[in-house]
Structure 1
């Protein structure tokens, strides 16, 4: 069941768009973006920017047997995956968010993740996880801390603005998570 209750309504160019979580109880992994891009807010679909590599990386890492588009986001549920955001305020760049933005949003995120109880939560980028946990930095991969009682990962952000990671490097990090999920299942 998709979590329609978490739908975030936005007004863009005079029309209402609905950008929502893609969640169900007991998923294998929920991918937690830092926040929506302005393009996602405009389009009403998560990771909809043509430069965002999220959908391609998920496919290459083996999370989906076919390459999905942002408009297919609800199909992720059938593959045991979901999507949420640490902060729901859309920005041009994730760097426009502050530690306070993440800390303010953390209780809602924690309640949501605790309620849906996925096996894994993957923060897409270090900023949200580090801010919420009071760290200045963290390593990529599985974390020693749980979030809302859930095994937590930090993966590189698939944004096209993240030029520090090639498609191959991104895919490798996501593949590591996929392999761990398969070991546990």
Structure 2
């Protein structure tokens, strides 16, 4: 297992505009789509890595993973039929720093990825970014009427600790 470490404030600052690689392959059961990487995740190089993010606990509670994975084990999700990507690839402190143009471009890029890799489901983790990127202003949580390619589209709450209420 990869060593777990916490980034320094300097490393977090240097992570601005870094990108995380997609974890994606053909025929996944579900492609989980974040808005964009946070600085913590970009600094350590793993998805949903910031302490307090609820993604990995939710994957375990939902029985998608057989145990609670560390963010440093994100690559193991592929063996369970899950992939990870983002609407916008660049890291930022907060998702509300993204421009409409970035979200629009990200939606186009994501659509091409979905058509290419053909997951069964695309699961957006955050309703606000889904609404903005795909122009679905009235979208609600859950299964959507629209598909991307042949994939069903689901929208779930954003697991970020910044989004906790």
1:24-63 correspondence runs (5 A)? 24-63=25-64
Say whether 1:110 aligns with 2:117.
Answer: no
Is the Cα contact below 8 Å between 2:36 and 2:88 reproduced in 1? yes
1:59–1:68: 8 Å Cα contact kept in structure 2?
Answer: yes
Alpha-carbon distance in structure 2 between the residues aligned to 1:119 and 1:102 = 23
User: CA offsets, 1:92-143, max 9 Å, x none?
Assistant: 1112223322102222111111111000000000123212332323110000
Distance 1:91 1:44 in 2: 14
Quick check: 1:119–1:151 contact (8 Å CA) kept in 2?
Answer: yes
Pick 1 or 2: higher relative contact order, CA cutoff 8 A, min separation 6.
2
Distance 2:19 2:105 in 1: 22
The residue number in structure 1 matching 2:7 is none
Check whether the contact 2:46–2:74 (CA below 8 A) recurs between aligned residues. yes
Q: In 2, distance between residues paired with 1:85 and 1:162?
A: 17
- The aligned length equals 152
Note if contact 1:21-1:84 (Cα within 8 Å) is conserved in structure 2: yes
Q: Structure 2 regions of 5+ residues with no counterpart?
A: 1-11
> Structure 2 length as normaliser, TM-score?
0.85
Unaligned runs of 5+ residues in structure 1 are: 1-10, 165-185
Q: Take 1:128 and 1:13, find their aligned partners in 2: how far apart are those partners?
A: 24
User: Which residue does 2:75 correspond to in 1?
Assistant: 74
- Looking at structure 2, the residues matched to 149 and 129 of structure 1 have their Cα atoms a distance apart, in angstroms, of 18
Contact preservation (8 Å) 1:34, 1:127: no
TM-score, normalised by the number of residues in structure 1:
0.76
**More moved, 125-134 vs 86-95:** 125-134
CA RMSD of aligned residues (A): 1.9
